[in-house]
């Protein structure tokens, strides 16, 4: 593990959220937001409303900006986001989760908690100088973000679809080279 468990979960969820904005947008309905909620095992307040969905959608460019910034800029953004949310880090243990950090209470709106969780996770990324774990998909036609938590830093593509497309292209190139 590169970072603490809650940091890795928050970073993975943030990248997945940003990547829903890549065409075709896969976060356009309340049902899709609900599925995202379930798949990333969020807890706490969840309104299942259009307004909540819109707020989560509006978060995507904000998080993309944070996750693709250079380290110094990311530090400034993290501080701003945490100050705006009046974040107060507390160790908590709830449901099946062992001690981890929350910096705002579970009754704050879900989009705000995503922002704060991402900012808290980015504290670890910035101070351990691991911004290089974040990048953009190696597929030229894809703007998806990549979070590489592998030991040998081998991850280049944002999704299985992009990995497979690259493998097929490489295979065709080899075939074309064969006389």
DSSP secondary structure code for residue 33 in this structure: H
Residue appearing with tokens 């819109």: 54
Binding flag, residue 144, Zn ion (CB under 5 A): yes
Work out the burial of residue 97: count CB atoms within 10 Å of its CB; fewer than 13 is exposed, 13-18 middle, 19 or more buried: middle
Binding flag, residue 15, Zn ion (CB under 5 A): no
Stretch that binds Zn ion, among 64-72, 108-116, 129-137, 167-175 (CB under 5 A): 129-137
Does residue 74 contact residue 126 with C-beta atoms inside 8 Å?
yes
Stretch that binds Zn ion, among 29-37, 76-84, 151-159, 168-176 (CB under 5 A): 151-159
CB of 9 to Zn ion, least distance (A): 9
Cβ closer to Zn ion: 52 or 139?
A: 139
CA dist., res. 127 & res. 124, Å (int):
5
Binding flag, residue 21, Zn ion (CB under 5 A): no
CB of 4 to Zn ion, least distance (A): 13
Among 33, 121, 147, 158, binds Zn ion (CB under 5 A): 158
Reduce the DSSP state of residue 146 to 3 states and report it.
Answer: strand
Stretch that binds Zn ion, among 32-40, 72-80, 147-155, 159-167 (CB under 5 A): 159-167
Residue appearing with tokens 């081998």: 154
Kindly give the residue spans of alpha helices, DSSP state H, lying in the chain. 5-19, 30-39, 50-68, 71-84, 110-127, 160-177
Q: Which two tokens stand for residue 141?
A: 């036609």
- Binding residues vs Zn ion (CB under 5 A): 137, 139, 142, 144, 158, 162
């Amino acid at each position: 593990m590169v970072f603490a468990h809650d940091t890795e979960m928050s970073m993975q969820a943030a990248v997945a959220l940003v990547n829903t904005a890549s065409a075709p947008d896969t976060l356009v309905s309340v049902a899709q937001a609900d599925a995202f909620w379930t798949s990333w095992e969020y807890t706490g307040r969840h309104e299942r409303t259009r307004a909540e969905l819109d707020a989560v959608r509006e978060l995507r460019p904000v998080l993309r900006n944070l996750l693709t910034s250079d380290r110094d800029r990311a530090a400034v953004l993290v501080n701003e986001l945490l100050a705006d949310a009046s974040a107060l880090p507390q160790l908590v243990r709830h449901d099946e989760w062992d001690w981890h950090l929350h910096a705002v209470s579970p009754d704050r709106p879900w989009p705000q908690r995503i922002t704060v969780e991402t900012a808290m996770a980015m504290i670890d990324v910035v101070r351990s100088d691991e911004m290089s774990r974040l990048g953009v998909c190696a597929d030229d036609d894809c703007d998806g973000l990549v979070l590489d938590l592998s030991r040998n830093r081998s991850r280049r593509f944002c999704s299985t679809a992009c990995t497979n497309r690259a493998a097929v292209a490489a295979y065709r190139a080899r075939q074309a080279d064969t006389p």
